[in-house]
Structures are given as structure tokens and as C-alpha cells.
Structure 1
């Protein structure tokens, strides 16, 4: 039995320990906000927070996630009003939206560690999250706006 805490709630599963956390979240816990992208940890669509740090859930086996705090996009803010989500709306970041949960989770982790990141900090932190629609300038504008407010 594997014990997990997801979005503040205790979960137990008899799934195999080598199952990717992503599949548990989507297929067993029915938390479909976390997206499958590449399945190899390269695109960032599946980004969640594990113990407050952004990680690619497709590359984390359940056994490694056991007894840790997991936050998905659904648990970031109850009403979808996290400052990053508000900045995303203000700057009209999403286009197709598929990658945006992962982008938001990566960005919120960055801001948790560094509330006023520089342009270079943003580039470094966000470089592993891919957006096929090319919304990178709007993502950066939203993050720079939040960084300015924190300064």
C-alpha cells in the first residue's frame, strides 16, 4: 500500500510502486489538470509540486512520491485565484492552454523560492517548460509583472 498526500488529502493505493505519479493523478485520483506531454520529463506539461518543489510527475514513480506532499494545479488555489493564475489571466497567457497547468506550477514554484526573480532567473526556471503555441513572451510578462509587485 502506498500512502500519498495530494492537495492536502490523504490517498492510499495498491498501484505498483513503479507507476508514474502522473498516471496515478490522472487515472486513479481523477485529477486531470496535470497533463501528459512527452512522458520523459522534458516538456513540463506534467509539472506538479512535491514538497513544494516543481517536479515532472511523469518521471516520478509512486514509490518515490510516497509520504510526500503533492500539489497539482487543482490544489494550487481553491478558486483558481493564485497570483500566478491571476497574472496569467491579466496577460492573456493561454492560447490552446494544454501546457498551462505545468507552466503555472513551474512559475509558482519559482516565485515561492524567489518572489522577485530577474529576467534571467525567469528564463532559467521556465526553460524546461515547452509551449507549442509560443506564449513565452506573455508568460515572461506575467512573471515580470509579479516580480515587480514583489520588489
Structure 2
């Protein structure tokens, strides 16, 4: 599997798993969910949105997507959460720009009965969300290093 396809499948899996969590019955038809990303321009979040949209269509989930205007635009994310609450969504998938500042609004969503899943970026504190799907970057680095050493064999001593 290439690095690109691994990233793609990881993003799709996280988004899909999050959407599956919102579906409380065998039929998810009519279930509303929201995906809130940091931006609509970062390729990582573009793929996340594509994966979530495809999975939502497959499941019959009514998915609304939101994003900050620029990276770090927490105000747009707060407004998106408020919209999701008002629209009666069952859950929110979010990659928070301000992991501490967004917590009071996330709490408001959870208090309203929405399931909140942090994607890629854990909230602070981490238990502010119901769940977090994120990459373990330390473990990923170790795996990449082990792969490089195995691939280079004896030449790994001279690698830079």
C-alpha cells in the first residue's frame, strides 16, 4: 500500500467509523451528522470530507459539512457546532482548530445529546469529546524508521 493510499484509507476509515457511530439502528436513513474540519483547502481535510460524504451517502446519513475559512478559524467552528445543534444532528465529527477554546461549545453539543468525535486532533482535555480517532505519530515514526532500515539493509548505517 502506498503512503497516499494508506493516508486515504486512514482518513476514510476514521470518517466512516465516526458516521457509523451515529447510526444507532440497522438503518441510518434520516440520521443527521456534521463534519467540521479546519479548512476546505488542506488536502488531508479534503480527503476526509470526500470519505465522509461517500460513507454518508452509502448509509443514508444526512451529512452537513463545515470548515474554517482559514486554519485557526475557531469562530467558524463554534458557529458550525451551534448550527448542528439547532438542526437536530445526532453527532459531530470535528478537527478542532482551537482544542481548548472549542470545549465549552462541544460541551453544549454533548449536553444537547449529540455524540462528538474528535478526528486527527484530540481536544484538551481529551475527554471533552466522546471519542477521538487520531494517528499515533510516534508509532508511525517508529514504523517508518523500521521500514526504511529493513529496506536499506546494510546501507542503513550510511543513510541521512
- TM-score class normalised by the smaller sequence: under 0.3
Higher relative contact order (CA 8 A, sep 6+): 1
TM-score between the two structures when normalised by the length of structure 1: 0.27
Rg comparison, structure with higher value = 2
TM-score between the two structures when normalised by the length of structure 2: 0.26
